[in-house]
Structure 1
């Protein structure tokens, strides 16, 4: 009886439709990636390895990997194999985005880690960044946003305590980054973006897990309430993981 049952189960496995195996391969690899178990740059098993693992045709494996490429989860490199892709994000130039939402839109787990935080009198450089009077006070905070287990963006921010006094006692230590908190608390009504391409300085490169000198995209943003500056932030993204998009219409003469 047991042997007949075993043979029946084997027959059912052998008759498993390719479509079902395709979905299983797709779900398994996607699960490894979205959980962070396979970080960006991780090599996916070769097609012949997956064919042997799942007991299916190479065409079924190739189709599943192709779907993952189209979803932006993996990239194929000629003669090297398939690798987990780095997150690619598009941001509109004329909007203020919540980085947490950008990360979660990719299907990845978001995290914020504070590097340094200080509430203090504004220094000369602080006053230039936020156009502040001599006796102004600020919160200066730096840290990294993470997508899964990988650094996503480095943040260097000043918050004007005259505009946002509650920031002095905000720890920013529960995976709530300063930008997310400010968007929830402060009804800003004007903003300015400045965008530059830079070579990563050694300290920022180390935090982002990239080589010093790597091309990066830097967005410097200031926001106001009426004529009062709220915050100035410098966001540094590895250049191959972020792009900016501007939508516009013809000017009216």
Structure 2
């Protein structure tokens, strides 16, 4: 198979396998192709395939049975991925101590790229916030968030020095629809620096747009170090 992107090959294999699972093409119990077959398909070493499948096994999407092969397992974490919860609750469910730091917070004019996420007209202002969430004083999640202030007028008077914007929005603003995209990427310089990992290390990224009826409220990009998933879902509360 000809390589068509700069994404590390094991991440492309990982994403392809996850797409097959989460789209329903590969159902729970399906015996996936052998590593040797996948290595031939992607024109790579068996070790590269093994790296991707090992990560998927750790994340709960696959299970390996001795002498039988590798099978699709119903991921126990899938329902959590579909929920809108606070990052604080994620940390506390792991029995770790949560803390939070506001990195930047600015009111600025919307730019062309922002309109992809919030669908707001030119000339409008948005709230642009970056913050970092910690578990036991270790970086856990880097949050980048844009907020449509026309949809949330009360937010103009809110300071997020002590409370994360996502937690505040969840308590104060009703929502009727959300769209998730969950995927594996290599950490950029900015993300790596904030998460205290190496540039290019694998990250789990959740991009979420939340809206109330037809009005988009907020877009968030949540970057985590560690397990990788790829999921797209639209749902209601």
The reply to whether TM is greater than 0.5 is yes
Take 1:103 and 1:93, find their aligned partners in 2: how far apart are those partners? 14
For the pair 1:189 / 2:173, whether they are aligned, the reply is no
1:196 to partner: Cα distance:
1.7
For the pair 1:135 / 2:128, whether they are aligned, the reply is no
Task: Give structure 1 stretches of 5+ with no counterpart.
Answer: 1-88, 247-253
1:203 to partner: Cα distance:
1.5
1:224 to partner: Cα distance:
0.6
Take 1:195 and 1:102, find their aligned partners in 2: how far apart are those partners? 16
Give 1:151's match in structure 2, choosing from 117, 123, 139.
139
Task: Give structure 2 stretches of 5+ with no counterpart.
Answer: 1-75, 233-237
The 8 Å contact of residues 194 and 219 in structure 1, kept in 2 or not, is answered as yes
TM-score relative to the length of structure 2: 0.62
Q: Secondary structure at 1:229's aligned position in 2?
A: strand
1:169 to partner: Cα distance:
2.3
Coordinate RMSD, CA, aligned: 2.0
The 8 Å contact of residues 90 and 245 in structure 1, kept in 2 or not, is answered as no
For the pair 1:210 / 2:194, whether they are aligned, the reply is no
The 8 Å contact of residues 146 and 152 in structure 1, kept in 2 or not, is answered as yes
Aligned to 2:219: 232
Take 2:214 and 2:224, find their aligned partners in 1: how far apart are those partners? 29
Q: Secondary structure at 2:96's aligned position in 1?
A: coil
Take 2:128 and 2:231, find their aligned partners in 1: how far apart are those partners? 29
Aligned to 1:164: 152
**Structure 1 segments (4+ residues) deviating >4 Å:** 242-246
Q: Secondary structure at 1:93's aligned position in 2?
A: helix
Q: Which has the larger radius of gyration?
A: 1
Aligned to 1:77: none
Take 1:156 and 1:97, find their aligned partners in 2: how far apart are those partners? 16
Take 1:225 and 1:100, find their aligned partners in 2: how far apart are those partners? 23
May I ask how many residue pairs the two structures share in their alignment? 156
Deviation per CA, 1:99-152: give whole Å up to 9, x if none: 111111122221111111101221111122211111222100011111111000
For the pair 1:112 / 2:100, whether they are aligned, the reply is yes
Instruction: Report the more deviating stretch, 208-217 or 159-168.
Output: 159-168
Q: Secondary structure at 1:112's aligned position in 2?
A: strand
Q: Secondary structure at 1:203's aligned position in 2?
A: helix
